[in-house]
Structures are given as C-alpha cells and as structure tokens.
Chains A and B, each alone.
Chain A
C-alpha cells in the first residue's frame, strides 16, 4: 500500500512566524509532489508542486524535496491568519495520473 503520511496537527504558529509542514511518502518511484490548501468547507487549491530535489520558492511559500529521505515539506514565511487551513500533500505514484493524498495538516495562525 503506497502511503503519504502527514501529522494531522493542529500546528499553531503566531502571525509573522514561519510555518513548517512535513510529509513523508513510501513509494521511491514517486516523481512529482504537490501541496494543496483546503479551507474548511471548500475544495483543495493547488499552491505548489515540485519534482526536483532541493527548494522551490513562490512568494511566501517554499517547497522542499528530499527524495533520498522520502520527504517533502512546505514552509510558509510571514504566516498570516488567512493561511489557517488544512494543507494536503499529494504524491504522483503508480503512473503519472494517480495522485495519492495524505490526510492533511491543519494549520492555525493566531493574530
């Protein structure tokens, strides 16, 4: 069973801090990795994807991938209360169209 693991949280950080969200995956053949943000009662929204080892930055968001250790992380700098949501990690496995999702990490950013 190919799995994607995330700590369910909640992860609580104060406004302005860096939030660090982590994800591990079991399939060494995984090729691309996605972070989705899901607000309560809404659908998942794609915020970043990464496919090469190292860091990828987009505004306040940085995705980090380490294939040898089989983990991917998302850093959110200068966290805002509007960042409070559940963050879903998804991994492309078993062929490029099948995404396997983690259960998500709930992030709470307090003013």
Chain B
C-alpha cells in the first residue's frame, strides 16, 4: 500500500451514465494528480491540483470534471463518456516541492459500453 486509495476499483458504465471516481491520500502531500493509462500508450497526465487549486488541465474533454475539496481528497466526475475513454484511471500524490516523487493509488479500471 502506498498510502493512496482509490474507489471503485472497477467500474462499468453506459455512455449516458454519470459516475464519480474517488481518491484519498494519507501521506500528508499537498499535490494530487489524475492520470489515464490506455493500452500501448504512455501514462497521460490529465489534471494537477496544488493545495486544492487546479494548476494543470492537459486539454482534457469537459466530460471529465475534477474536484478537489481539500489536499487529501480528489474526485473525477464522469458524464456522457465514449467507449474510447475506457482505460485505467490513476490518482497520484506528491509534495509540491523537492523532486516531485509521485505515489500512485491502485487505479480504477473503467469500461464504457
């Protein structure tokens, strides 16, 4: 266990559904990240939050909506997704200083039907 938890671990949703992914870190970090990992592709950074403020949006479609109520919790709200959005969604956290070692949660395996 890295001290970063994610729920749910698996999610199947239809294209018209709305769902949310949750991430919580117990490491005392103040930066949190969402990544997408698709087969045969590098990890793609989606969003960065520092002290619960969004500091990076890597041109992510608006059907993905992040929320960070505090430095320990991060959500990714999903609506009207497409089948190509099926992937492993990973949350990570780090200190926002030093060398930026990022620690990942176990991920949510998302399937969009």
- Choose the segment among B14-22, B61-69, B78-86, B95-103 that binds chain A (4+ C-beta atoms closer than 8 Å): B95-103
Once the chains are docked, how many angstroms separate the CA of A106 from the CA of B103? 21
- Cβ–Cβ < 8 Å partners of A62 in chain B: none
Please count how many residues in chain A sit with their CB below 8 Å of the partner chain's CB atoms: 24
Bound together, the chains give a CA A103 to CA B41 distance in angstroms of 6
Cβ-Cβ contact count across A and B, 8 Å cutoff: 57
Contact check, A102 vs B42: say whether CB atoms are below 8 A apart. Answer: yes
The reply to whether A43 and B42 contact each other, CB–CB distance below 8 Å, is: no
Across the two chains, which residue of chain B brings its CB closest to A104? B42
The CA of A30 and the CA of B60, in the complex, are separated in Å by 24
For residue B56, CB closer than 8 A to chain A, the reply is yes
CA A92 to CA B97, docked complex, whole Å:
13
Contact A97 B104 (CB under 8 A): no
B27: Cβ under 8 A from any A Cβ: no
Are the C-beta atoms of A43 and B106 separated by less than 8 Å?
yes
A-B pairs with the 4 shortest C-beta distances? A101-B43, A101-B42, A43-B104, A32-B99
User: What are 19 residue pairs bridging A and B, where the CB atoms are less than 8 Å apart in the complex?
Assistant: A4-B42, A34-B102, A42-B106, A43-B88, A43-B104, A45-B104, A46-B104, A49-B99, A49-B101, A96-B100, A97-B33, A97-B50, A97-B96, A97-B100, A98-B45, A98-B56, A99-B43, A100-B42, A102-B42
Which residues in A have some Cβ–Cβ distance to B below 8 Å?
4, 31-32, 34, 36, 42-46, 49, 51, 88, 90, 92, 96-104
Q: What would 6 more interface pairs be, CB under 8 Å, given A49-B101, A97-B94, A99-B100?
A: A44-B104, A46-B104, A51-B99, A90-B43, A97-B100, A103-B40
